[in-house]
Structure 1
Amino acid sequence: MNWIKILTQNRIPYYIYKLKREDFIILNKKNSNIIIILSGIIFITKVFPNKELLPIAILDKTNIFIKSNKERRTYYKIFALEEAYVLTFNASFLNKTYINHSININLLNKYKKTIDKYEAMNNIMSQKQIQNRILQLIFTICLQFGTVKNQKISIPFRLSNKNIAILTGTSEHTINKVIRRIYNKGIIKEKNNKIISINNIYYLNLK
């Protein structure tokens, strides 16, 4: 669906953000926003008053994110795992009488796909041991976004230790130690430009 064209036709104002890898934006606390990923891969975290971050989901152009205006004490950050274009608009415009209701149907279909991404993140965070949480994260990203060549699965973007720390809810210092241990065991490999790969996905387990 050409969201820019549809929103323009329905007189819904919108903003488009270009995010370079490692960039982030903060969503407005007051409004109910709908976020559509036009291209690239992003992840979203919820930020609490004590600055604690809770990873919500890793999303791509098949997904949307809906932020309610009821959460006054928390806000959300959108981080780019690779260069991304993100479109956002105020959800209140969908209640206007002149709006084509096909927009709501398409948003609902995208949201159904997004729910799976929430569940995947919950599975990651449910791992009690940090090493298992990291492996579950890498396994999930490989399944969702990985490229397969010669029985090898590679993540098509650089996954920094800083982002791994955010996505697993731990410190970067801890991630550095655990990642070294994982590499030494040969569970995962690292190619040029820090691209993570798995030579044989059947070797990736949580035991």
Structure 2
Amino acid sequence: MKLIKFLKKRKIPFYIYQLNKEDCIILNNINSNNNNIIIVLSGFIFINKVFSNKEILPIAILDRKAISIQTSKELKTYYKLIALEKTYILTINKNIITENRMNIFLTTNILIRYYKTIERYEAINNIMIHKYITNRILQLVFNICIQFGKIKNKKVSIPFQLSSYNIAILTGTSENTVNKIIKTIDQYNIIKNLHQTVIAVDNILNLNLK
């Protein structure tokens, strides 16, 4: 990878970590991670903001084109990064980025990743503005299919499974609600195999749910 080669050549310190599926990282304002930028090298993670009352706000799903958010400045909140599959991340001290700000390659690489990350944030934000949970779930599925999927014969292959738990967190609802809505969606015979890595999508214009 060009970024790793560049960091090694410039003798810039960095660390690479492997996260297995469902492994998580906690980022808050009181640990050493506060000065680090986290770059996804491969795999997928989703980010939640957790408040002191245990309320969870979905933030984004990130892949290797993205870079993680900075940590919270609020002592009573933190960010939780959860791996959707085996994922490799690279951490680098953000102060080093400032010191190397004149290097075109490093600056461009970071800016491109920030741009991709903003797109991911906006995608989740557009999901959460929906009043009806059904519409949130549908838009989440469609966004994931568009951003990360490959289409073949009316089926979309995505690189990770969508569990009811993950769907619930990413749409701001409960697992029970997700399971009930999925049963309703199944009746329309439009989206099939929602919990699998190959999702069948057909006759989408016939869908009219609330």
TM-score range, shorter chain: 0.7 to 0.9
Of the three residues 103, 106, 111, the one matched with 2:109 is 106
What whole-Å deviation, never above 9, does each CA across 1:40-60 have from its counterpart, x for those lacking one?
A: 111111111222111111111
CA-atom RMSD, angstroms? 2.4
Match of 1:72? 75
**CA distance in 2 between partners of 1:194 and 1:97 (Å):** 43
- Alignment-derived partner of residue 54 in structure 2: 51
The 1:140–1:116 alpha-carbon spacing in structure 2 relative to 1, beyond 3 Å, is: same
TM-score by length of 2: 0.86
User: Any conservation in 2 of the 1:43–1:56 contact (CA below 8 Å)?
Assistant: yes
Please give the alpha-carbon distance, in whole angstroms, between the structure 1 residues aligned to 2:122 and 2:55.
Answer: 20
1:45-76 Cα deviation digits (max 9, x unpaired): 11112221111111111111231463433211
Residue identity matched to 2:22: E
Query: Is the counterpart of residue 156 in structure 1 residue 159 in structure 2?
Result: yes
- Aligned counterpart, 2:185: 182
Structure 1 pair 37–204 and aligned structure 2 pair: CA distance change class (3 A): farther
Equivalents in 1 of 2:101, 2:128: separation in Å?
42
Tell me what 2:173 maps to.
170
Aligned residue identity for 2:202: N
Deviations 1:172-206 (A, max 9, x none): 12112111221222231018x73351332734756
In structure 2, relative to structure 1, the CA distance for the partners of 1:203 and 1:190 (3 Å cut) is farther
Contact 1:188–1:196, Cα closer than 8 Å, also in 2: no
Q: Which amino acid in 1 is paired with 2:107?
A: N
The aligned residue for residue 27 of structure 1 is 27
Question: Post-superposition shift, 1:34?
Answer: 1.2
What corresponds to 1:142 in structure 2?
145
User: For each residue in 1:132-188, what CA deviation from the matched residue of structure 2 results, as whole angstroms up to 9, or x when unmatched?
Assistant: 110010000000111211132233321101100110111112112111221222231
**Number of residue pairs matched by the alignment:** 206
Partner of residue 9, structure 1: 9
TM-score between the two structures when normalised by the length of structure 1: 0.87
Distance 1:79 1:69 in 2: 17
Which deviates more, 124-133 or 110-119? 110-119
Whole-angstrom distance in 1 between the partners of 2:119 and 2:145: 15
**Distance across 1 between alignment mates of 2:51 and 2:36:** 18
Distance 1:138 1:50 in 2: 28
Q: Compare 179-188 and 66-75 and name the one that shifted more.
A: 66-75
Distance in 2 between the 1:26 and 1:109 partners? 25
Per mean C-alpha deviation after superposition, the further-off stretch among 9-18 and 157-166 is: 9-18
1:98 to 1:190, Cα distance in 2 relative to 1, 3 A = closer
Cα distance in 2 for partners of 1:157, 1:54 equals: 21
Counterpart amino acid of residue 2 in structure 2: N
- Identity across the alignment (%): 53
Structure 2: gaps spanning 5 or more residues: none
Once residues 51 and 150 of structure 2 are traced to their aligned partners in structure 1, the CA distance between those partners, rounded to angstroms, is 35
